[in-house]
């Protein structure tokens, strides 16, 4: 589904990703780990199409298409959704408006009819209660005045409504207490199916106790230096990143 | 020949069968205007607004109101309302609809009101805005002949809005008009009055309107001024409000069109408990220029004013906001709040904003603030990552900026009009009223 090939990315003149390779297949959950400054968030930002990241070489294919030639919204309509580490507050735009406009943009792009209002409200209310959020969230401006945990739940709510093919979660666990973490993890686990891929960027192993990944990658200094299964995450938790750094230098 | 003199030449074109007191009033306006001349940028109140395009323009007074239904339909709003229509300043009986006015309410063209109710109207008109306020009000007095007169009797609640349309046609040569609007709201009456300035594409006329709104004790008036003339039109307006005890006036000054638009809005809070609310929105692009000068006079204790003006400027457009609040000595326990926020969508747009407070009492609550900023690019990105295209994302965020003001608007037709102008055609209604209904229904079920 997603193929990242020898990706080099610079930000403000300094190279952050230095030849990153990654393949994610449908049905798989991948965790991208690594010390601060390794370039973890850069990868998801480049895939989503954020400004300020210059791809100097390499390519990214999504379902065989050259992602780097697509506009930000085209990537979203193709089925890629980024859950932000710091979801932005959008004063004046109601949550419900964003959900409906985003869902209809997808449907229209697929040549479908816009969703009828009752059907939409039914869908949203189901997902809302699954995320343990009350109806007032819909009428509030996107993320405005939300606590850290509420913002993250709101990101997952969007995923549940929009049902992306590739869900990317950037440090979704940061700022969550244990209860909120469970709700968020349940939301993410409910997204798992044979057709969907999930790419999680995380600093801590904690999240992976709740969402067990198929593959774990360690990103160090702009490259993936080690990949393994969920056991690798446990090992990182126990031993830190030092040994991987040494191993990769050797 | 001075520019002022050239304008006054048009006086000679007026019918000479006017009553002598009307002629006398014209002469007074003309004399004052000739003495003052057009304002220049040396005048503090006109520092940022150059009126040479008006002064050097050549305008004639229209003498017909021809506009067929189709052309009118393209300009007017589909509102269930009591409607009075003027075309380039000339009353159109054909386009007006005053069939089912409730008892105690009269809505008439000025000329009719002057004939039938000379004493009441003659005494009221010009009382708040005579020849001295500005050169333009003097010019209006000299050249005005038509306008709207709305009188609402004591305790009458007018359900439907009173909708006054000033249509500006695309004429072969430019026209000018100097209409008057007079609203006399009786004690405890309630009404909504809309002044709608709409122009055909390519219309390049000059409108110089003076409105006076008088609220007696306990009266409630919602006043909308929707200005969406063509981008060639020139527009100067002066709105003067006088409020009695416990009255409430709410102004919506919504500017979407025009090449050069200047609005002065002045309220005198003359008795305890009077409240005035100023909601303003201007959205300008190209080389449009819009200037809002507002003034609230707290002439009595226990009076309240709240002002919120939002400006959105694109391309090389220019905006001016000057908001002044004067609290007289002995006007204790008043509250006055003022805010002006501006959104610049282009590097070349410009806003000059100046809030002014003059307070001569000591027991008051006042605040004022002005901000200018750009769209939040992080928010644009966030919306696009949800599949919303860039143009719509920017439109939504721009509309959201106007939200505080537009949320106060109680007429959906006007909300829709502003939404379309600011954000283009959206896939759904921004306020999602229908969804709220569905949602409530589900909740009850």
Are the beta carbons of A166 and A24 closer than 8 angstroms? yes
**How do beta strands A54-62 and A2-11 pair?**
antiparallel
Q: Could you tell me whether strands B260-269 and B289-298 are parallel, antiparallel, or unpaired per DSSP bridges?
A: parallel
- What is the rounded distance in angstroms from the CA atom of residue A114 to the CA atom of residue A105? 8
Q: What is the model's pLDDT at position B426? A: 62
Distance from CA of A249 to the nearest CA of B (A): 37
Task: In whole angstroms, give the CA distance from residue B270 to residue B4.
Answer: 35
Q: Tell me how far apart the alpha carbons of residues A162 and A167 are, in angstroms, rounded to a whole number.
A: 10
User: What is the C-alpha separation between B331 and B441, in angstroms, rounded?
Assistant: 49
- Cβ pairs bridging A and B (under 8 Å): 110
Residues B238 and B265: their CA atoms lie apart, in Å, by 6
Q: Which residues contact B14 (CB under 8 A, 6 or more apart)?
A: B26, B61, B143, B145
Looking at residue B176, what is its pLDDT?
96
Report the pLDDT value the prediction gives residue A88, as an integer from 0 to 100: 96
Task: Examine residue B350 and state whether it is found in any structural domain, yes or no.
Answer: no
DSSP string, B227-268: EE--TT-EEEEEEEEEE-TT-EEEEEEEE---SEEEEEEEEE
The answer on pLDDT for B438 being more than 80 is no
Say which range, A201-215, B2-16, B177-191, B279-293, has the weakest mean pLDDT: B2-16
Our CA-based measurement puts residue B430 at a distance from the nearest CA of chain A, in whole angstroms, of 7
pLDDT of residue B7: 85
Is B7 in a helix, a strand, or coil?
helix
Q: Which helix (H) or strand (E) covers residue B24, if one does?
A: helix B20-36
A215 pLDDT band (50/70/90 cuts)? very high
Per-residue tokens: A6: 């020898």
Task: Determine the pLDDT at residue A139.
Answer: 86
Q: pLDDT tens for residues B366-399?
A: 999 999 999 999 999 999 999 999 988 999 899 9
Band (pLDDT 50/70/90 cuts) for residue B439 is: low
Residues A125-147: what's their mean pLDDT?
A: 92
Mean pLDDT of chain A: 93
Helix, coil or strand: residue B11: helix
Out of B381, B388, B400, the one facing A91 most closely (by C-beta) is B400
Distance of CA B206 to the CA centre of its chain: 15
Compute the nearest-CA separation of B376 from chain A (Å): 9
Contact B174, B92 (CB under 8 A): no
pLDDT in the model for residue B440: 58
Nearest CB among B382, B428, B439 relative to A88 is that of B382
Q: Exposed, middle or buried: residue B207 (CB in 10 Å: 0-12, 13-18, 19+)? A: buried
Are β-strands B350-359 and B206-215 bridged in parallel, bridged antiparallel, or unpaired?
A: unpaired
The number of distinct structural domains making up chain B is 2
Q: Which residues of B touch A138 (CB under 8 A)?
A: 439
Give a yes or no: residue B345 inside a domain: no
Residue of B nearest to A158 (CA): B386
- Of A177, A190, A202, residue with least CA distance to A83: A202
In a domain, B288, yes or no: no
Residues 93-112 of chain A with CB under 8 A from chain B are: 93-94, 96-98, 100-102, 104-106, 108-109
Residues A167-175 have a mean pLDDT of 91
Closest CA–CA distance from residue A159 to any residue of chain B (Å): 10
> What are A79-108's pLDDT values in tens digits?
999 999 999 999 989 899 999 999 999 999
User: Is residue B387 a part of any domain in this protein?
Assistant: yes
Q: Of the candidates A76, A118, A139, which has its C-beta nearest B385's C-beta?
A: A76
Measured between alpha carbons, how far is B262 from B51 in angstroms, rounded to an integer? 10
Which of A156, A134, A5, A164 minimizes the C-alpha distance to A87? A156
**Cα dist. A59→A54, A201, B301 in Å?**
12, 20, 71
Average pLDDT, chain B: 92
Element (H, E) at B78: none
Which chain A residues are within 8 Å of B430, Cβ to Cβ? Answer: 97
On whether residue B40 sits in a domain, the answer given is yes
- Contact of A125 with chain B, judged by CB distance below 8 Å, is answered with yes
Alpha helices in B60-129 (DSSP H): 69-75, 110-116, 118-124
Q: Give the model's pLDDT for residue A36.
A: 82
Least-confidence region, from A22-26, B116-120, B252-256:
B116-120
Task: Verify whether the Cβ–Cβ distance A73 to B400 is below 8 Å.
Answer: no
Hey, how many other C-beta atoms are within 10 angstroms of the C-beta on A75? 24
Please provide the DSSP assignment of B111-161 as one string.
HHHHHHSHHHHHHHTTSSS-SSS-HHHHHHHHH---EEEEEE-TT-B--SP
Q: Is a pLDDT exceeding 70 seen at residue A157?
A: yes
Does residue A67 sit at the B interface (CB-CB below 8 Å)? no
Integer angstrom CA distances of residue B244 from A192, B151, B180: 67, 16, 22
Per-residue confidence at B120, pLDDT binned at 50, 70, 90? Answer: confident
Residue A204, pLDDT above cutoff 60: yes
Domain map of chain A by residue range?
2-249
Give one word for B128, left, alpha or beta, with left for phi > 0 and alpha for psi -120 to 50.
Answer: alpha
Q: In the predicted model, what is the mean pLDDT of residues B415-419?
A: 89
* Positive/negative CA dihedral, A205, A211, A217, A222: negative
pLDDT confidence tier of residue B2, bands split at 50, 70 and 90: confident
**Beta-carbon count within 10 A of A135 CB:** 16
Distance from CA of B253 to the nearest CA of A (A): 20
Report yes or no: B421 and B256 within 8 Å, Cβ to Cβ. yes
Which one is predicted more confidently, A244 or B37? B37
Domain ends where: B201, B236, B271?
B271
pLDDT in tens, A228-244: 999 998 888 888 888 88
Is the pLDDT confidence value at A117 over 60?
yes
User: For residue B414, what is the DSSP state?
Assistant: H
pLDDT of amino acid B129: 92
**Does A120 contact B at CB distance below 8 Å?**
yes
Answer whether residue B395 is part of any domain. yes
The CATH label, of 3.90.226.10, 3.40.50.300, 3.40.50.10540, 3.40.120.10, for the domain at A2-249 is 3.40.50.300
Assess whether B234 and B381 both reside in one domain: no
Tell me whether B442 touches chain A (CB under 8 Å).
yes
The count of C-alpha atoms lying within 13 angstroms of the C-alpha of A105, restricted to the half-sphere facing its C-beta, is 27
Question: In sequence order, what DSSP letters do the residues of chain A get, joined into one string?
Answer: -EEEEEEEEEETTEEEEEEEEEEE-TT-EEEEE--TTSSHHHHHHHHHT-TT-EEEEEEEEETTEEGGGS-HHHHHHHTEEEEPSSPPPEEEEEHHHHHHHHHHHHHHHTTPPPPPHHHHHHHHHHHHHHTT--THHHHSEETTT--HHHHHHHHHHHHHHH--SEEEEESTTTT--HHHHHHHHHHHHHH--TT-EEEEE-S-SHHHHHS--SEEEEEETTEEEEEESHHHHHHHHHH-SHHHHHHHH-
Model confidence band, residue B444 (pLDDT cutoffs 50, 70, 90): low
Q: Which residue has the tokens 């949602």?
A: B439
> Collapsing DSSP states into helix, strand and coil, what is residue B109?
strand
Q: Give pLDDT, residue A199.
A: 97
Confidence of residue B430 (pLDDT cuts 50, 70, 90): low
Greater pLDDT, B392 or B11:
B392
Note whether B6 contacts A: Cβ–Cβ < 8 A.
no
Chain-chain contact of B388 with A73 (C-beta, under 8 angstroms): yes
Task: Report chain B residues whose CB lies below 8 A from the CB of A72.
Answer: 381, 384-385, 390
Say what the pLDDT of residue B435 is: 57
Q: Is the dihedral of CA B208, B105, B412, B109 positive or negative?
A: negative
Confidence of residue B422 (pLDDT cuts 50, 70, 90): confident
Confidence of residue B442 (pLDDT cuts 50, 70, 90): low
Of A91, A96, A121, the CB nearest to B442: A121
Phi and psi angles of residue A193, each rounded to the nearest 5 degrees, phi first: -155, 180
Residue B263 shares a structural domain with residue B382: no
- Number of H-type helices and E-type strands within chain B: 11, 21
pLDDT-above-90 percentage for chain B: 81
Rounded alpha-carbon distances, angstroms, from residue A19 to A225, B87, B221, B243, B275: 11, 69, 68, 73, 66
Mean pLDDT along residues B300-323 = 96
Residues of A in contact with B439 (CB under 8 A): 96, 121, 125, 135, 138
Gap between the Cα atoms of B133 and B423, Å rounded: 37
With beta carbons less than 8 A apart as the criterion, state whether B388 and B396 touch.
Answer: yes
Percent of chain A with pLDDT over 70: 100
Instruction: Read off the pLDDT band of B95 (50, 70, 90).
Output: very high
**B262 and B386 part of one domain:** no
Look at residue B298 and tell me if it is in a domain.
no
- Domain span at residue B405 reads 376-445
Range scoring the smallest mean pLDDT among A24-33, A92-101, A117-126, B19-28: B19-28
Please check the confidence at residue B436 and state whether its pLDDT lies above 70: no
Q: Which residue, of B202, B237, B271, is where some domain finishes?
A: B271
Range with the lowest mean pLDDT among A203-207, B42-46, B219-223, B338-342?
A203-207
Q: Could you identify the residue written with the tokens 């969550």?
A: A176
| A136, B430, B444 from B433: Cα distances, Å | 15, 8, 17
Q: Which residues of A touch B403 (CB under 8 A)?
A: 91-92
Domain boundary among B242, B271, B300: B271
Buried b (16+ CB within 10 A) or exposed e, B224-256: bbbbbbbbbbbbbbbbbbbbbbbbbbbbbbbbb
Instruction: Classify B219 as helix, strand or coil.
Output: coil
B23 touches chain A (CB under 8 A): no
Distance from CA of A95 to the nearest CA of B (A): 11
Q: Cα(B34)–Cα(B36) distance, rounded to whole angstroms?
A: 6
B276 Cβ neighbours under 8 A, 6+ residues apart: B241, B243, B248, B249, B250, B251, B267, B269, B296, B304, B305, B306
Q: Quick one: pLDDT at residue B423?
A: 80
């Amino acid at each position: 589904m997603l193929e990242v090939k020898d990706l080099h990315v610079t930000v403000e003149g300094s190279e952050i990703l230095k030849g990153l390779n990654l393949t994610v297949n449908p049905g798989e959950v991948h965790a991208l780990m690594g010390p601060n400054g390794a370039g973890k968030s850069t990868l998801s930002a480049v895939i989503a199409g954020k400004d300020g990241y210059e791809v100097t070489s390499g390519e990214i294919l999504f379902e065989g298409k050259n992602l780097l030639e697509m506009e930000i919204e085209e990537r979203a309509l193709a089925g890629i959704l980024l859950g932000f580490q710091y979801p932005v507050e959008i004063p004046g735009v109601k949550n419900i408006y964003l959900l409906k406009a985003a869902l209809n943009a997808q449907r229209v792009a697929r040549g479908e009819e816009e969703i009828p209002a009752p059907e939409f409200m039914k869908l949203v209310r189901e997902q809302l209660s699954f995320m343990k959020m009350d109806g007032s969230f819909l009428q509030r401006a996107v993320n405005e005045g939300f606590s850290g945990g509420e913002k993250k739940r709101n990101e997952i709510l969007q995923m549940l409504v929009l049902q992306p093919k590739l869900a990317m979660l950037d440090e979704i666990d940061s700022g969550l207490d244990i209860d909120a973490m469970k709700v968020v993890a349940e939301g993410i686990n409910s997204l798992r199916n044979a057709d969907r891929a999930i790419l999680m960027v995380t600093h801590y192993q904690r999240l992976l106790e709740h969402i067990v990944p198929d593959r774990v990658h360690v990103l160090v200094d702009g490259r993936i230096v080690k990949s393994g299964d969920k056991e690798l995450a446990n090992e990182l938790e126990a031993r830190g990143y030092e040994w991987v750094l040494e191993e990769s230098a050797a | 020949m001075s520019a002022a003199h050239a304008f006054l030449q048009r006086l000679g074109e007026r019918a000479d069968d006017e009553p002598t007191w009307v002629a006398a009033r014209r002469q007074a306006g003309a004399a004052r205007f000739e003495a003052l001349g057009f304002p220049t940028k040396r005048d503090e109140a006109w520092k940022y607004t150059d009126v040479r395009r008006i002064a050097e323009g050549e305008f004639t007074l229209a003498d017909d109101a021809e506009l067929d239904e189709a052309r009118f339909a393209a300009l007017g709003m589909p509102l269930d309302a009591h409607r009075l229509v003027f075309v380039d300043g000339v009353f159109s009986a054909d386009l007006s609809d005053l069939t089912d006015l409730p008892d105690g309410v009269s809505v008439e063209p000025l000329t009719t009101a002057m004939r039938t109710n000379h004493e009441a109207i003659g005494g009221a008109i010009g009382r708040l805005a005579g020849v001295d306020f500005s050169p333009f009000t003097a010019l209006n007095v000299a050249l005005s002949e038509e306008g709207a007169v709305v009188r609402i009797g004591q305790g009458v609640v007018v359900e439907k809005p009173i909708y006054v349309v000033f249509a500006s046609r695309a004429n072969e040569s430019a026209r000018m008009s100097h209409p008057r609007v007079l609203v006399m709201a009786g004690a405890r009456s309630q009404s909504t009055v809309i002044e709608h300035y709409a122009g055909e594409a390519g219309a390049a006329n000059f409108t110089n309107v003076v409105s006076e709104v008088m609220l007696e004790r306990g009266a409630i008036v919602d006043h909308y001024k929707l200005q969406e003339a063509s981008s060639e039109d020139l527009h100067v307006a002066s709105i003067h409000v006088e409020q009695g005890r416990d009255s409430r006036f709410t102004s919506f000054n919504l500017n979407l069109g025009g090449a050069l638009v200047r609005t002065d809005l002045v309220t005198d809070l003359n008795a305890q408990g009077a409240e005035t609310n100023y909601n303003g929105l201007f959205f300008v692009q190209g080389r449009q220029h819009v200037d809002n000068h507002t003034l609230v006079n707290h002439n009595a204790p226990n009076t309240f004013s709240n002002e919120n003006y939002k400006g959105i400027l694109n391309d090389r457009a220019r905006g001016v906001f000057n908001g002044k609040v004067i609290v007289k000595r002995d006007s204790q326990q008043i509250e006055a709040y003022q805010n002006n926020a501006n959104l610049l969508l282009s590097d070349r747009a410009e806003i000059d904003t100046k809030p002014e407070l003059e307070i001569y009492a000591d027991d008051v609550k006042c605040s004022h603030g002005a901000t200018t900023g750009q769209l939040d690019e992080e928010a644009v990105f966030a919306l696009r990552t949800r599949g919303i295209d860039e143009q719509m994302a920017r439109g939504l965020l721009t509309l959201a900026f106007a939200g505080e003001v537009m949320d106060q608007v109680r007429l959906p037709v006007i909300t829709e009009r502003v939404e379309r102008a600011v954000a283009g055609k959206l896939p759904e209604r921004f306020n999602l009223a229908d969804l709220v209904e569905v949602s409530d229904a589900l909740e009850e079920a």
